[in-house]
Structures are given as C-alpha cells and as structure tokens.
Amino acid sequence: MDPLILSRMQFGANISFHILFPTITIALGWVLLFFKLRYNATNDSAWMRAYFTWVKVFALSFAMGVVSGVTMSFQFGTNWPGYMEHVGNIAGPLLAYEILTAFFLEAAFLGIMLFGFRRVSNRVHTLATVLVAGGTTLSAFWIIALNSWMQTPAGFEMRDGVAHAVDWWAIVFNPSMPYRLVHMLLASGLTVSFLIAGLSALRYLKGDRSESMWKALRTGVFTAAILIPIQILAGDQHGLNTLEHQPQKIAAMEANWNTGPNVPLVLFALPDEAAKGNKFEVTIPDGASLILRHSTDGVVPGLNDFPGNHPPVFPLFWSFRIMVGTGLLMLAVAWSAAFFLKRRHSLPRPLALLMVPMALSGWLATLAGWYTTEIGRQPWLVTGVLKTADAVGPVAGSHVALTLAVYLLLYVLLLIAYLGVLVHLALKAAKDGDTSPLPGVLNAALSQPAAGE
C-alpha cells in the first residue's frame, strides 16, 4: 500500500490515542486541586476520599499520556522527516519550549503529588498539585500554538523552501491560536466533568450514597452544566475564525458546493465529491447563512471556489456533526442532571443510566472535533506552505503497514485495560463507601524513614 496514506493513518492512530489522555489530565489536575483546596478549607474528609479515588485515575491517565507522547516525538522523524526539514525552525523551538517548561515540571512533581503525601508537608503537596496541573496546561499551550500555526501560519518568511522565524509573538499567537486553545481547554474540562459524573453515576446506581460519591457527582455535574454553554459559544467563535482564515474548511464542513447567499443548513446528507453535490439532503433554509454571517442573505463560501485545493468533504461533514450532536446531548444531560441534583437531591434512575456511557462523551466530541480541524487542513500539512505528501519519509509501505497493525492492536488492548481499571476503581469505591481507611493529613512532613527502620 501507499506509504503516504499508511503514514497518515499511523500518525492519526497515534495522535488519536494520545489525545485521549492529555484531555483528561489537563483538567483533572485542576479538579484534584479543587478537591484538595476544599479539604484544606473545610476539613471534611470526604473531599480527601474523592481526591484519592481520582488521583489514581490521574496517575494512570498520565502514564498513558506519557508513553503515547514519547511515541509522537519519534514519529516526526520516522515518518515525516520533511516536516522538520521545511518548518523545523518554527516547530522546533515551540516543541523545545514545551519539553523544557512543561514536560519536566509535570514529571518531576508528579512523583511528589502521587506518592509524597507523607513525605512533604500538606502545603508542599498542594503546591506540587498546582505545579502538575499548571504543567499540563502549559503543555497544551505550546502544542496548541504549534498546531494552530500549522493551520494559520504567521510571523515567518520562506528562504530556499525553508521557513524562517521573523516574529515569534506572531508565530505563537497566530490568528487561530487563542480560539483553538480556549476550545480545547474547555473540551478537557467537559471530558473530565462527564467522566467524573459518569463514574459517580455508576457508583450511585450500585447503591453508593457516600459523601465522597456525592461530592464527586456534584462537582462533575455542575462543572459540566456551567462549561457546556460556554463551550458552545466558544465553538461558534472558533467557527467564525475558521470562516475568516480557512474558508475551504467551512465549505467542506457545511457540504456547501457553491458560493452564494441564502445557503441552507444541511442537517443530514451523504456528500458525493464526484457528483459535486449531496444525496438525501435534509436542510433548514438559510440556516448556514444565518449561523455564519448572522443574516439570511449572507454569502457562504462554497467548494467551487477551491478546486483541487479543499479537504475531503464526507469525513469533515460527518465528524463536525458528530461533535456538535454530542455537544447538544451533553447540554441536555448536564442541565437535567444539575436540575435534579439541585431541586430533588437525587438522580432518576434512567438519567443515571444514561450518564454512565456519557462518561466517554467528552472523548467522542474531542476526537470528532480534532478530526474536523485536522482533516480540514488537508491537503496541506502547513496551510499554504507544505503539502502533506511532500513531508512523508522514504520508509517502505510494508514497514509502515506492519508497525501500524501492531500499534492498533496495542492501543485497542490498552484501551480495554484502561476502561476496565476505571470501572474497577469506581466499583471498588462504591463498595468501600465512606468506610475506606483515610490517611492522616498533617501540616508538617513526617520524618523520613531512616536506614534500617
């Protein structure tokens, strides 16, 4: 098979697997800090129990993120040497800053955060939690900066086919960067709040009514209920930004084949690139014009403006709809759960049953969103600068096929094991309830065990 498509599939598989875990750790770090600070303020041990349940999920997710992230750093060289050859002067420093300022910070203080509870004072432990959470967020900042630069490059000039930096401020804060960063951080927050709400709902269904379950459940549901409308607004702004800078992506997302006013919003269709049209269309008249231009006769760009230079329509159209559909479902579930928790102090059983699979809704929406934006960049690797086909390495297709197959197998098995452990941890917590042994929390460090002790 063609090494280009195989390498793309491999990179897609690796980065899809990788992004699942940072999406959890970025926001979960802050949630753990919240649990910790609540405990410090109230002295209510249920907060600490919630902390100890979820810090295990954090540790496991972090490990999965680290090992899949190491894979990513090698992939650039093994499969995409053209990438660093052409834009290494831009991508290099951004990646270097990620490693130097964020990666080490997380890794060094993670040990203290996870295992240092009895070794350092409560204050230092809280500080370690802050540094780990801050490190994961900083990591996201640099990676999003680089990704956004590939979408909407700025602040550079080309010399002999190689990009050279001119203005680092413009490179980092390129036109789509602030929108993408906000969108991603909110996505992380939603993924975590639905994960916490979903696993707590599982505990609820198992009859667990312990204080730590309630605290986790409320935290998850209320955070989700607050974040989801903000995310919808942020997503809308991100879309308008894309319309301005990458109109061909919007045209493909909306499956709009001809530029013009009064463009309908396509709810359902099977886009057909060969026929340059949609089959089985279900539309809302003037909908797309209204959403994108805020007027019924607003002009929406169509694919006819970008012959041979637009992303594939079918995957973009559908991944975008999956993301939006999941988002709307999240809105409905989060708000009804928040209503019941606030007014009735209980969850109806059907809602709790629905919340359990919704624990993974954040993953689904995040992946669908990333597919939309990344496939939407094709055929370019760096928009207008480097085509994906020109960056692929000289490795034989058979080699890539072999490694791709093993990676896929490995990832499927690891995902099964990961989800199995999450359910196991939730069931174990449900069984223990408030009777699990609670560690003493001291404001001073315990003396370190001496040799022979």
**Binders of other proteins among 396-425, rule CB under 8 A?**
399, 403, 406, 410, 414, 417, 420-421, 424-425
Applying CB under 8 A, which of residues 40, 45, 101, 259 lies at the interface with other proteins?
A: 101
Alpha helices in 160-265 (DSSP H): 168-172, 177-205, 211-245, 247-253
Q: What is the distance between the alpha carbons of residues 47 and 45, in angstroms, rounded to a whole number?
A: 5
Site for other proteins contains 153 (CB under 8 A): no
φ, ψ of residue 275 in degrees (nearest 5) = -85, -5
Tokens 């990832």 label which residue? 411
Residue range at the interface with other proteins (CB under 8 A); choices 22-30, 209-217, 326-334, 443-451: 443-451
- Comparing CB distances to other proteins, the nearer of 35 and 320 is 35
Cβ closest to other proteins, residue 435 vs residue 448: 448
CB 65 within 8 A of CB 414: no
Distance CA 298, CA 294 (A): 7
Measured between alpha carbons, how far is 325 from 332 in angstroms, rounded to an integer?
Answer: 11
Torsion sign, CA atoms 376, 377, 380, 384: positive
Q: Please give the residues from 155 up to 174 whose contact with other proteins meets the rule CB under 8 A.
A: 162, 164-165, 168
Binding test (CB under 8 A) with other proteins, winner from 9, 395, 401, 408: 395
Residues 212 and 208: their CA atoms lie apart, in Å, by 10
Interaction between residue 116 and other proteins (CB under 8 A) = yes
φ, ψ for residue 386, nearest 5 deg: -140, 125
Q: Which two tokens stand for residue 11?
A: 């990179």
Kindly write out the interface string for residues 347-386 of this chain, putting x where it contacts other proteins by CB under 8 A and - elsewhere. ----------------------------------------
**Residue 448 CB, nearest approach to other proteins (Å):** 5
User: Tokens representing 129?
Assistant: 């939690």
71 sits near other proteins (criterion: CB under 8 A): yes
The reply on whether position 6 binds other proteins by CB under 8 A is no
Q: Which of residues 52, 222, 306, 340 is near other proteins by CB under 8 A? A: 52
69 binds other proteins (CB under 8 A): yes
Of residues 248 through 277, those in contact with other proteins by CB under 8 A are: none
